[in-house]
Amino acid sequence: MKMLWRLSREAIRYRTLYVIAILSTLMLTAVNLIAPKLLSSMTGIVERGVDDAGLRKIGVLTAGLVVLYLLRILFRFLSNYLAHKAAWYLVGDMRTKVYDKVERMHLGFFHDKQTGDLMSRVVNDTRDFELLYAHIIPETITNIVTFVGVLVVLLTINFKLALITCMPIPLILLSGVIFSKKVRPYFRASQKKMGELNGKLQDNFSGIQEIQSFGREEYESGKVDVQNFEHIRAMLQALKLSGIFHPSVEFISSLGTILVVGFGGYLAYQGGIDVEDIVAFLLYLSLFYGPITGMANLLENMQQSMAGAERVLAVLDTPCEIQDKPGARDIRDVSGDIQFEHVSFSYGDDIPVLKDVSFHCEPGKMLALVGPTGVGKTTLMQLISRFYEPTSGKILIDGNDIQDVTLESLRRNISPVLQDTFLFNGTIAENIGYAVPEASLDEIMEAAKAADIHDSIMLMPQGYDTQVGERGLRLSGGQKQRVAIARAILRKSPIIILDEATASVDVETERQIQKSISGIAGKHTIIAIAHRLSTIRNADKILVIEDGSIVEEGTHDELVALGGSYARMNKIQTSGISA
């Protein structure tokens, strides 16, 4: 009930549609309750003998039935369509809401999540809300009102026979409670397995080149087959319980019908009930047990919907660890002064990644980070943009603690160029202008020239309108990297982060990119991670990081003269001598 109440608050914005749909449902139920009474009245007239007055009355009743059946069409349409309209709008809202929540989660949230599973929660699990609001809730209301209405009618026809009719109901309710407790875990498992299957498919489609290159098609097909049938087995467990439950409800309902027919025949034999009432009772009897068997079907759908709702609400209820603090302010007119004060960080497993890191980068300077893989260089970059929070210490931009400014204004002043360049499925122009959607084509072209990608683009058949494909599949690694650099240049952020930005380019292209970066170095604060030391020789300051700590600091010449770790790395790369 708590979950239903929570979900009802989400649906309240569509209350007008729901109110009309529910009223139409009630009117439809009233029509269904009145029609058998008119039919039984016609039966009574025929039983007593039809004269002129009786014939006129049959004509009136027939006309009344026609009107009722026409009204039933109208009310059923309003009930079904408006309920579906409200439900699908709700599904759309919930999909957007879940996506917005996932989109704003900190990067740590994604470490143990599969993309396909998150997609399943956004698309598949939210779809179950349509089942809940367009079918389960309206039909539940219809069934309850119909059941109560028919029960009242039956009690007015014959009190004793009505009580006999109600005898199977406790058994049906008990079986429903047992069924709902047993079946929901299987539906929950089924939804989870579906998410895992989507995750596996997403991984395989993204890595299709590797699968084919290493001849692992059969192996991956086997893994997909296993996860596919894990989902199917979970669903079949739920359907097995349904296969037992629904026939049981039908059998119990049939027992009620048998009791009514038997006891009704006994009453007719004693003269305690006339033919007209027996006909009415039998007509209403199908309406009486119909809602009960209908509720059994709805109970199964309810468990499936609740299983999906649990997965959706689990995402919505996940706290976002990185968000604006109360009173956070926008940071404006940023010059690019960056300072780390005794910053330490770990990913939550108590294994430190950064240890008491302190440094200062003045505006317009280029700071380079070098060191072995896995020592915390990229993590340090991500801390500047607040993708993670320091375990201790402070990070200042222009003297402002970045935890005291809004995320939007902080990240607006930082443009990253990552080693694993991501391009969206669209045109080259759209990707370069991604962070500045209002940029003109001339501005996009200027940024491309600065990144030395303009000439390559102009050689393509559609130029700047060339489609890059999913993740930039149609471009080379060097082209993707230079498009990403053009994207950062176009944004004109005072701080540019280069995480191995030249890793995927040849030596000549590297020189050209370095030339373009040097051209903007005085206007932007640049922080660069590099393994190829040739790309950061001209940096104003180089930090050598080992085991999460700064072990050396200085310019290229100073560090070479020092004869330490940097000097050894430089010697290896310039002479090819192994350490």
**Same domain for 247 and 346?**
no
Handedness of CA 160, 162, 164, 170 (dihedral sign): negative
**Same domain for 207 and 111?**
yes
Q: Is 153 domain-assigned?
A: yes
**Same domain for 240 and 370?**
no
pLDDT tens digits along 243-254: 787 777 778 777
Q: Is 321 domain-assigned?
A: no
CATH number for the domain harbouring residue 409: 3.40.50.300
3-state secondary structure 39-55: HHHHHHHHHHCCCHHHH
Looking at residue 578, what is its pLDDT? 44
**Same domain for 86 and 211?**
yes
Q: Is 35 domain-assigned?
A: yes
Q: Between 380 and 43, name the one with better pLDDT.
A: 380
What average pLDDT does range 94-101 have in this prediction?
A: 87
Looking at residue 338, what is its pLDDT? 93
Residue 555 has phi, psi (to 5 degrees) of: -80, 175
**Same domain for 378 and 286?**
no
368 has which bridge partners?
Answer: 528, 542
**Same domain for 312 and 343?**
no
Instruction: From 419, 420, 409, 415, select the one nearest 432 (Cα to Cα).
Output: 415
Q: Is 322 domain-assigned?
A: no
**Same domain for 225 and 364?**
no
CA distance 488 to 451: 10
Question: Of the candidates 316, 347, 368, which is a domain's last residue?
Answer: 316
Res 577 pLDDT > 50: no
Average pLDDT of the residues of the chain: 81
CATH number for the domain harbouring residue 274: 1.20.1560.10
Looking at residue 259, what is its pLDDT? 76
Q: Which domain holds residue 397?
A: 338-575
% of residues, the chain, pLDDT over 90: 8
Name the one residue in this structure whose structure tokens are 């968000």.
323
Q: Is 495 domain-assigned?
A: yes
What average pLDDT does range 8-18 have in this prediction?
A: 80
**Same domain for 278 and 343?**
no
Q: Is 83 domain-assigned?
A: yes
- Write out the H or E segment, with its range, that includes residue 1: none
Question: Of the candidates 316, 347, 381, which is a domain's last residue?
Answer: 316
The pTM (predicted TM-score) of the whole model is 0.72
**Same domain for 151 and 250?**
yes
What average pLDDT does range 357-361 have in this prediction?
A: 92
What average pLDDT does range 215-238 have in this prediction?
A: 83
What average pLDDT does range 275-292 have in this prediction?
A: 72
Res 39 pLDDT > 90: no
Provide the 10 A C-beta neighbour count for residue 203. Answer: 16
Q: Which amino acid is at 525?
A: T
Looking at residue 543, what is its pLDDT? 92
DSSP letters spanning 304-358? HHHHHHHHHHHHHTS--SS-PPTT-B---S----EEEEEEEEE-SSS-EEEEEEE
Give how many domains the chain has, as a whole number. 2
**Same domain for 384 and 466?**
yes
Q: Between 353 and 255, name the one with better pLDDT.
A: 353
Helical axes 2-11 vs 275-316, angle rounded to 10°: 80
Which burial class, exposed, middle or buried, applies to 247 when counting CB atoms under 10 A from its CB (0-12, 13-18, 19+)?
exposed
CA distance 452 to 515: 9
List, in order, residues 6 or more apart from 472 with CB less than 8 Å away. 421, 422, 423, 431, 479, 480, 483
Res 324 pLDDT > 90: no
3-state secondary structure 360-407: EECCCCEEEEECCCCCCHHHHHHHHCCCCCCCEEEEEECCEEHHHECH
**Same domain for 247 and 301?**
yes
Residue 111 has phi, psi (to 5 degrees) of: -65, -40
Looking at residue 579, what is its pLDDT? 40
The winner for highest mean pLDDT among 33-47, 333-347, 560-574 is 333-347
pLDDT tens digits along 488-526: 888 888 898 888 766 656 666 667 667 666 666 667 888
CB 186 within 8 A of CB 237: yes
**Same domain for 82 and 190?**
yes
Q: Is 328 domain-assigned?
A: no
